[in-house]
Structure 1
Amino acid sequence: MNKLRINLLRDELVAQKTWLTLTNVVRVWAASFILFVLASVYSQYNYSSINSEYQKLNKKHVQLTNQLEQYEEVLSSRSIDTKLTNKLATLKFVFQNKQILHRQLTDQTQVQVSGFADIMTELASYHSREISLQKINIANGKINLSGLARSADSVPNWLTGFAQSAYMANKNFSHFNLSATDSGDIQFVVYSGLLDKENK
């Protein structure tokens, strides 16, 4: 005898599986928490590395700043003294003047000697730091002087000093010429002859 079985369980009555269960929710939260912890650890590690690098760079910056200040102090302490610079320039000017006088004494091709020793003695005695002689020409009782001066007033003041000399006091400076050079010095030419006895 055949038995007939009838399935009264319909599809809509079968319980459907769902993912929204307490177990699944706990698993999702656990996974999220683990990811959050890992991200926090990674961020903290990066922050520590960046902060360490920043501290090193900041320390290096402070060292360089201190070195710069030290170099500035050294440079300021080595600044050129204006007084010493002016004194050195004066000494160079005097030395050049003496060199020129020495060349004039030893170079007979540029000078005709007539009372040469007396004139050179007086030029040395009445020497001025403001005057640098470059050429001396003596001929027939006349003297031609040319050179450089620090200022236009230096030449007249220098010539005035010869009024007390023995040889140069008898000279009449009939020609007097001044001109400025590119370096700012004054170039002068003085030409003189013997004074007539009537004009003394």
Structure 2
Amino acid sequence: MKRQINLYGAEFRPRRQWASLNQMALVWGGCVAVVFCMGAFYGWQQQGVGRELAQVRAALEVKRGEAQRLDAELTRHQANAVLQQQLASKQEELTAKQELMQQLGSLALQKSQGYAGLMADLSRIRDKQLSLQRIEIADGRINLSGFANHSQDVPAWVKRFQQTPSLAGKQFSELTLKRDKEGRLAFQLSGIEREKP
């Protein structure tokens, strides 16, 4: 009987060496090449950003120069303080005179025209949302009645009394709102004081 004996065991076989000098040199060379490529790429990007930054700085300098020019023009165009004060006093004087003329005109209109002034004022504040059907003047009081489209139209119309000389500052003692047989909204303002001419 024959037996085989293997005298060349696994421990005698050549082993693959990791991290040999050649392999380490290749890895380090690859790393240096990657670092160099990355440095070149970032350097190229930095140059582009630097160019853009230079352009932005140049544009900013142009805008600053224009802003300084406009500021200088603004200081040249500022009004004289004395003239501004004179203008303000003249405007106040003009406003006071206009108010006086308006008051004198309204008094003259009331005294000279009597009922005509009231009628003119009512026509001046007419409203499409309501129609005035009756005007009654008795015992120094004015009673107005008519029809409105909506209930809020009457108070809005009464607020406009302040725009008229004959009704400004007047108050009424009673407001009546009701629907008539035809479904129309009827209103009546009673007891408005009337200035005596």
Higher relative CO (CA 8 A, sep ≥ 6), structure 1 or 2? 2
Q: Could you state the TM-score of these two structures normalised by the residue count of structure 1? A: 0.41
TM-score of the pair, normalised by structure 2: 0.41
